[in-house]
């Protein structure tokens, strides 16, 4: 099969390779991949000199089951699915265990649902971690990104008053249309406290978002898009004036590889297909143009997802 593999001598640190078709374990379905979505973390990982040439990367992929799992744990041959994995998604075939695969509607656009695994699942799982959101103010930093767009929509649907943060004022109207009640260019501009924060950015945005938390509030850090240090002045950790018992929690989607993501993948894909969740696709093209998509992502020119169609 054809696959995109790490090649540090090539543009975008990737090139084509012929690789053997994966041999599925008894609990794995063999999927013919029809579309993949790109995440900043994986293209950054491919560009990392420590990643050996030949590494098959790729987290998000959607396609069709061509061989059902031998132990009966997965869907039947011919089922359209979306898949998650820690490697080898950017290839024509992928072997996937049942817990990392969700069945998608018959009429699903496989490119649209390919955006669901990393971005959609991370947003969904962190929004759940923030607790009941009805009537509560929730800040989302990096709101214009892949995770952020899903998070704005999911938090708004959970009843939150969403305070979205994007450095780029041109993103404001789009974020309001996704359900944001307020849009600011930085957390320091938010004048009313919030109950919870989903932080995709780190650095000073994390520090300022923590300062906006009210007592008992929680900040869940998903990412560090700013790649900057988060430096807290001593008074940031004071617990007086109604700011006691605030916490910062870390998050890692793959923390437990045995997690059963299948129902959440299927639900998110169904919501995207029904038009109730906007996947925020900002670049889409054939996978032969992978270098354009990767360079746009690495150059921070995308405000949303990039999708490659295969075949």
Ligand X SMILES: NC(=O)c1ccc[n+]([C@@H]2O[C@H](COP(=O)([O-])OP(=O)(O)OC[C@H]3O[C@@H](n4cnc5c(N)ncnc54)[C@H](OP(=O)(O)O)[C@@H]3O)[C@@H](O)[C@H]2O)c1
Question: Could you tell me the smallest distance in angstroms from the CB atom of residue 72 to ligand X?
Answer: 30
CA separation for the pair 200, 159 (Å, rounded): 21
When asked if residue 153 is in the footprint of ligand X (CB under 6 A), the reply is: no
- Residue 95-124 contact track with ligand X, rule CB under 6 A, x = bound: -----------------------xx--x--
When asked if residue 207 is in the footprint of ligand X (CB under 6 A), the reply is: no
59, 83, 265 from 80: Cα distances, Å: 17, 10, 12
Counting every residue written for the chain, the total comes to 311
SS3 (DSSP) at 46: helix
Number of residues that bind ligand X (CB under 6 A): 28
In sequence order, the 6+-apart residues with CB closer than 8 A to the CB of 215 are: 242, 243, 244, 245, 246
CA separation for the pair 176, 174 (Å, rounded): 5
- Residue 211-250 contact track with ligand X, rule CB under 6 A, x = bound: -----------xxxxx------------------------
Per CB under 6 A, the list member of 4, 29, 40, 127 interacting with ligand X is 40
Per CB under 6 A, the list member of 9, 50, 168, 240 interacting with ligand X is 168
Question: Could you tell me the smallest distance in angstroms from the CB atom of residue 185 to ligand X?
Answer: 8
Shortest CA distance to 242 belongs to which of 205, 271, 213? Answer: 213
When asked if residue 144 is in the footprint of ligand X (CB under 6 A), the reply is: yes
Give the dihedral of Cα atoms 154, 163, 195, 123; nearest 10 deg.
Answer: 30
User: Stretches 72-80, 146-154, 156-164, 209-217: which one binds ligand X (CB under 6 A)?
Assistant: 146-154
- Residue 182-201 contact track with ligand X, rule CB under 6 A, x = bound: ------------------xx
Nearer to ligand X, 69 or 293 (CB): 293
Helices (H), the chain: 40-47, 110-113, 121-129, 146-157, 172-178, 203-211, 262-273, 290-298
Residues making contact with ligand X (CB under 6 A): 39-41, 118-119, 122, 142, 144-148, 166-168, 171, 200-201, 222-226, 251-253, 300, 303
């Amino acid at each position: 099969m054809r696959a995109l593999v790490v090649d540090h001598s090539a543009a975008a640190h990737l090139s084509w390779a012929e690789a053997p078709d994966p041999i599925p374990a008894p609990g794995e379905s063999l999927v013919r991949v029809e579309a993949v979505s790109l995440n900043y973390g994986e293209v950054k990982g491919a560009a990392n000199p420590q990643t050996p040439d030949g590494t098959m990367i790729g987290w998000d992929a959607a396609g069709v089951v061509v061989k059902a799992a031998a132990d009966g744990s997965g869907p039947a041959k011919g089922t359209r699915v979306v898949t998650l994995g820690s490697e080898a998604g950017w290839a024509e075939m992928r072997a996937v265990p049942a817990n990392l695969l969700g069945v998608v509607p018959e009429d699903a656009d496989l490119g649209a649902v390919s955006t669901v695994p990393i971005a959609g699942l991370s947003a969904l799982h962190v929004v759940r971690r923030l607790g009941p959101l009805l009537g509560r103010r929730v800040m989302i930093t990096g709101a214009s990104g892949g995770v952020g767009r899903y998070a704005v929509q999911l938090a708004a649907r959970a009843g939150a008053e969403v305070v979205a943060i994007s450095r780029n004022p041109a993103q404001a109207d789009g974020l309001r249309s996704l359900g944001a009640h307020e849009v600011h260019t930085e957390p320091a501009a938010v004048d009313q406290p919030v109950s919870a924060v989903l932080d995709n950015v780190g650095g000073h945005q994390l520090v300022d978002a923590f300062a906006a938390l009210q007592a008992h509030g929680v900040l869940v850090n998903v990412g560090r898009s700013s790649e900057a240090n988060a430096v807290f002045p001593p008074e940031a950790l004071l617990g007086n004036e109604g700011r006691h018992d605030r916490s910062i929690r870390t998050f890692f989607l793959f923390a437990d590889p045995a997690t059963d993501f299948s129902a959440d993948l299927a639900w998110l894909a169904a919501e995207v297909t029904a038009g109730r969740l906007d996947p925020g696709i900002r670049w889409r093209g054939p996978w032969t143009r992978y270098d354009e998509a990767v360079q746009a992502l690495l150059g921070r020119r995308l405000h949303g997802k990039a999708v490659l169609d295969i075949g």
